[in-house]
Structure 1
Amino acid sequence: MRGDLAESRQSKDASPVTDGEDIKRILKERALRLAKEPEASAQSVPCLEVLSFMLAGERYAIEARCVTETMPLRNLTYLPGLPGFILGIANVRGRILSVMDIKKFFDLPDSGLTDLHKLIVVRHGTMEVGIVADGLLGIQEIPKDSLQPSLPTLTGVRENYLAGVTDTGTIVLQAEKILSDDRILVNDEG
């Protein structure tokens, strides 16, 4: 053991001693290397940032740029005479929003509402709507070139609002198409 200690002292003594100027130069070189902007890869793929959520046992996503906020579904006021997919209205920070159940809009199985449901506030232009989700999964980036145009199982109304389907089966919706649908626009002219 004493031999190991003696060897370590000798190797330490044999290492070159650097003065303060050498240390400053080395640190400056390191700082300059670390401060450089990373080079843009020629193979960088444009990505789509989405909010993923669950709906009737399936994974859905909507572009994050259209989502203004998310929250638990609370204080829903039901109104008579609305289309079946409009559940009612909710006061969200002083704004009265229509609350849309896209499960009914897409003719998906509905299991009723619970305190666990979430409200996704979606905006496109001047239109802002709350969309009910079974649960939120979070924000993720999806490479645009990985989106498939459709799946054979996605027929009917869902296909009209589809941005694509990921290789993991997440169905990416186009918020602007949903919010500009004639069925949810109310014309007050008489």
Structure 2
Amino acid sequence: MTTNAPVFPKKKKPVRTSFLEVERRLSAARAAVERMWTPSIEETQRILQARALALAQEALQQGAASEGTQVVEFTLSNESYAIESHFITQIACVENIMPLPCTPAFVLGMVNLRGQIFPVIDLKVFFELPEKELTNVNKIIVLKSGKIIFGILADEILDMRRIPVTDILPSLPTLTGIRKNYLKGMTSKPLMILDAAKLLLDENIFVDEQVTE
């Protein structure tokens, strides 16, 4: 009687891979990945151009931020104002103001500074802002453009600094009163920047006579 014994498959001998073969395969795999992610010459040029453009734009933004307007900051009725420094010839104490008859209420009077006689304007009255009594902190900011010269009364001088161009915003559309016609812009502080050129050219503001001794 014949007995059928179970037949088991022959075990395969393990294939031993040498360390050098493993290194070879890893190197081949890395090379394949690098080839897959390496851009073409055209793609490389496009990437470089995009990076150059981004760097140029960043440089322009930084340059614009570093540029600005030099201003003198002061207060009028507890509000902060500024005026460009290249229109200012000097800042003087308030003294020896000679009243002028038959002039608008905002003309404080005439002063004589270093041989120049010119009017002083009270912008609080001109802008219809609350008035305050004169104190020892009041100052006269002397503005000049060409032959036109006059002073404006400031309640207090705060600072002299440079405002970046990017910080200057258009005047608020909700701002009311005559002062909105004489604003060049404002910052988020808020700091209202007066248009000195417009003030100096406005025939309704000052007496265009000056006397030099």
Q: Shorter-normalised TM-score: what interval?
A: 0.7 to 0.9
**Distance in structure 1 (CA, Å) of the matches to 2:174 and 2:113:** 35
Q: How many residues align?
A: 148
SS of 1:107 mapped into structure 2: coil
Code of the residue aligned with 2:163 in structure 1: it is I
Match of 2:162 in 1: 141
Aligned-pair identity in percent equals: 42
Point out the structure with the larger helix share.
2
Structure 2 residues without counterparts, runs of 5 or longer: 1-58
**Distance in structure 1 (CA, Å) of the matches to 2:208 and 2:163:** 36
Match of 1:52 in 2: 73
- Which has the higher Rg, Structure 1 or Structure 2? 2
Code of the residue aligned with 2:200 in structure 1: it is L
**Distance in structure 2 (CA, Å) of the matches to 1:134 and 1:153:** 25
1:102 paired with 2:123, answer yes
Match of 2:19 in 1: none
Match of 2:33 in 1: none
From 104, 119, 137, the equivalent of 1:83 is 104
Post-superposition offset of 1:112:
2.5
Answer whether contact 1:51 1:138 (CA < 8 A) is retained: yes
- If the length of structure 1 is used for normalisation, what is the TM-score? 0.73
Answer whether contact 1:121 1:131 (CA < 8 A) is retained: yes
**Distance in structure 1 (CA, Å) of the matches to 2:115 and 2:129:** 31
In the superposition, relative to structure 1, how do residues 186 and 88 fare at CA in structure 2: closer, same or farther (>3 Å)? closer
In the superposition, relative to structure 1, how do residues 77 and 185 fare at CA in structure 2: closer, same or farther (>3 Å)? closer
Q: Deviations over 1:42-72 (max 9, x none)?
A: 4212201000001100110000000111011
1:157 paired with 2:178, answer yes
Code of the residue aligned with 2:134 in structure 1: it is L
Post-superposition offset of 1:147:
1.3
Match of 1:71 in 2: 92
**Distance in structure 2 (CA, Å) of the matches to 1:148 and 1:181:** 24
Answer whether contact 1:150 1:162 (CA < 8 A) is retained: yes
Q: Deviations over 1:80-107 (max 9, x none)?
A: 1111110110011110010100111111
Answer whether contact 1:72 1:118 (CA < 8 A) is retained: yes
Structure 1 residues without counterparts, runs of 5 or longer: 1-40
Q: Over the residues paired in the alignment, what is the CA RMSD in angstroms?
A: 1.6
From 109, 124, 144, the equivalent of 2:145 is 124
Post-superposition offset of 1:153:
4.8
Post-superposition offset of 1:113:
1.9
Answer whether contact 2:74 2:81 (CA < 8 A) is retained: yes
Code of the residue aligned with 1:77 in structure 2: it is M
**Distance in structure 1 (CA, Å) of the matches to 2:146 and 2:201:** 10
